[in-house]
Structure 1
């Protein structure tokens, strides 16, 4: 006979969470597989599970009764859920009632856990939604505040911009007119004092307007840096001249020092860099009653076409304590008991400096000691033009055979500058005394005079004043000062700050030596004498392109044979041709060679050197003439 165990196997194999019971019509237990509950045989099912009493009658008529998820847990910590299935099994001979009990506690627990997790997830989502709404609300409030701040800032900047512009024009007018009265009308007594007061007050007011306008532009982000080529040496020279009057009044000295390794031509915003230096030096002058101010530029790093420069502006002024240095870049800041109202200015200068340095991509720091002085250090990156040989960017022999007088009491400086000048083609005379230099200037014409300012007995600028009064060549002689510091002097000629490089020297020489003295080849004269007639000019060019090389060849032959007489004649014959092609340099070389052929003894080595330069220049001029002939 089929047992209940066999039936269970037949029904669902060996699954332990099923229990099978065999019942008679009165639901008395006939057999049990005893896999879930320990159910005694012969006991009534209703006694064990009272809730089944309600179906005892229904089972007699219904084929199948299913009671899902019956909770028989005895306390809250338990989790006992069962499914009950009752039906009559026709396959057994006695056709018993079968009760299948399924333990669903695990699945019910999973369902509860899932429901709990779902409720937690829902709560978390609601919490996140509330957070997001709160963040959105905060963002809206922040945007509204930012918009209000932007409108307020724009309104303030617009106001400052307009009011500064409207005030600047009349202030500049007052400044200009009061300066004209002081310089041209020569007022005296109280009237002079009144006008000087007007000038000083107007200048102070313009400084305030400039500071306010700069800060307004910086805060609004409207300042954009420009890219332009500039020389640091030129900026420092201008700064020296700008501060000369106030330095003289306060008996202060201003020194500049430039690292020789710094590239000659930098690329950046020259105006804004000058403004940084101007504000820092102005600040130093205000708070320094005695001593000096020094500005130093050094190369911090160099790679490809980029360099980083470090600048230091130091003074021997009142200094600051540590707490004051922390606030020094704040607008309207005071230093100790000395306010900007007392010393002049707005207190905005250093705030402007800090923001400008940061716009450059740099940073600035300050160190200071009370009653000792203050040092500002800032770094700024720049692009620069790569160093090239002079012959690549400038005509190599543009200064050849020009005469220069170098006046310097330092043997080392004199030798160094003399070497640089000779490399550029100058014929250099040197002198270590100002009085002796005046004699040399009186007896000999020089195209260039370079003198140190700090000379013993007679200072360099005093020597120049005497030379200008007495020398008939003063208007033709270019003048340069070479010095380590301008000091308190007001000078009328360009300054070379020591130490300087050949590139710096070359740059300033091209500014002071007239272009007509440096011309290698020009068709201006030829156009003039041919009255602009192209055919006539072409004929002249064709003839010159044949005659000049022939003349140069003859000069070479006579030079090799040491034929002084014919050499003189050949050079003399070449000179008019050099004038026709507009070559001041060739003409100058020919003139000097012609003079040398008349001297005894003849300096053949020097003549040979001049001839070699002449050959190179003629070749260069020939190329230019060919190009002109093709036009």
Structure 2
């Protein structure tokens, strides 16, 4: 092989490896010239494009981020680099837009937070004033009730009625405290008592309390307790009664005349230190419709004219949660609403 042929083979191999092209197929001096000319033009083109890329990246360091690199028709490694760089620029633009959007949202959230804090302050001030206005006559009622229980000769029936009156007053005081301390309940700072109480006596109080209301609406109101449920439970009877009062009151209000309300108490499960008891309040009222079911536990929202929800159900949810239980609402709109509370009670206290 002559020197000319060797040069031509070398140049062709460079062109083929670098540019995947072969221009000539002879072995003349003219072929060598065409191959070298093609190689020189390609190298010069790469130099110009590399200079543009270097200048562009330098501008990026100076703060000009959003100019794209040019893509040639060569489809070589420089174009691959340029396409990758341009993709990065697109992502950077999106990130900058998202950042601006987030900053706008954050500003709105700060304003909403300040507004919510102001509303909470106003609400707390209002509730504090209401607390004083309600507590004063209620304490007087409870005081006179205690005097009658402790100092007057009364019949067994009168004593039972006075005990119901006292328990109802105690429950009302707890409700007032809970309305004032919803935030406190959320932080789980509420204290609960653990004392033995008679479940049948508690349900009799519940039945007697709502008897007049259900008679006025001719509602069929019944309470059933399974035999497996212990007659004496250890826990916070005031809170249990408060939970049942809220749920039954809500059911009676949402149930039309001649409807049904049931309180069913069943033994759920026994664990090492606890009995778990399920309380189900079932009514034949209109129920809570669709998307409004989530709103039912918002203390600031009344779902509709016949369902109280709001504070009542919010207190139930938070109280049950802090007591270590569960609360569910199962709803068939227009047919039935079922409130299910499961609570733990200490064994052998």
TM-score (norm 2): 0.57
Q: 2:43 is matched with which residue?
A: 69
Distance in 2 of aligned mates of 1:125 and 1:369: 50
User: What aligned pairs does 1:485-524 form with structure 2 within 5 A after superposition?
Assistant: none
* C-alpha distance after superposition, 1:282-305 (max 9, x if no partner): 445666877986532112333443
Q: 1:16 is matched with which residue?
A: 13
Closer, same or farther in 2 for the Cα pair 1:348/1:125, shift >3 Å?
A: closer
The answer (yes or no) to whether the contact 1:368–1:374 under 8 Å persists in 2 is yes
Q: 2:285 is matched with which residue?
A: 320
The answer (yes or no) to whether the contact 2:202–2:241 under 8 Å persists in 1 is no
How large is the RMSD of aligned CA atoms in angstroms?
5.3
Structure 2: any 5+ residue segments left out of the alignment? Answer: 17-21, 47-71, 150-167
Q: 1:3 is matched with which residue?
A: 3
Distance in 1 of aligned mates of 2:120 and 2:182: 12
Distance in 2 of aligned mates of 1:299 and 1:40: 101
Closer, same or farther in 2 for the Cα pair 1:7/1:118, shift >3 Å?
A: same
The answer (yes or no) to whether the contact 1:365–1:377 under 8 Å persists in 2 is yes
Which secondary structure state, in structure 1, belongs to the residue aligned with residue 88 of structure 2?
A: helix
Q: 2:122 is matched with which residue?
A: 156
| Higher relative contact order (CA closer than 8 Å, sequence separation 6+) | 2
* C-alpha distance after superposition, 1:316-371 (max 9, x if no partner): xxx423566966946545556xx98xxxxx9743453344345544123356898x
1:301 maps to 2:264: no
The answer (yes or no) to whether the contact 1:354–1:363 under 8 Å persists in 2 is yes
* C-alpha distance after superposition, 1:533-560 (max 9, x if no partner): xxxxxxxxxxxxxxxxxxxxxxxxxxxx
Q: 1:349 is matched with which residue?
A: 312
Distance in 2 of aligned mates of 1:268 and 1:302: 15
Residue 110 of structure 1 and its aligned partner are, at CA, apart by 1.0
- Structure with higher helix content: 2
User: What aligned pairs does 1:611-626 form with structure 2 within 5 A after superposition?
Assistant: none
Distance in 1 of aligned mates of 2:303 and 2:28: 102
Q: 1:493 is matched with which residue?
A: none
1:379 maps to 2:341: yes
Distance in 1 of aligned mates of 2:82 and 2:277: 68
Q: 1:113 is matched with which residue?
A: 80
The answer (yes or no) to whether the contact 1:256–1:295 under 8 Å persists in 2 is yes
Closer, same or farther in 2 for the Cα pair 1:250/1:143, shift >3 Å?
A: closer
Distance in 2 of aligned mates of 1:179 and 1:265: 26
Which secondary structure state, in structure 1, belongs to the residue aligned with residue 43 of structure 2?
A: strand
Q: What is the count of residue pairs matched by the alignment?
A: 287
> Larger radius of gyration, structure 1 or 2?
1
Distance in 2 of aligned mates of 1:108 and 1:333: 64
Structure 1: any 5+ residue segments left out of the alignment? Answer: 20-34, 53-65, 73-104, 184-202, 341-345, 387-392, 394-631
1:280 maps to 2:247: yes
Closer, same or farther in 2 for the Cα pair 1:40/1:289, shift >3 Å?
A: closer
Q: 2:24 is matched with which residue?
A: 37
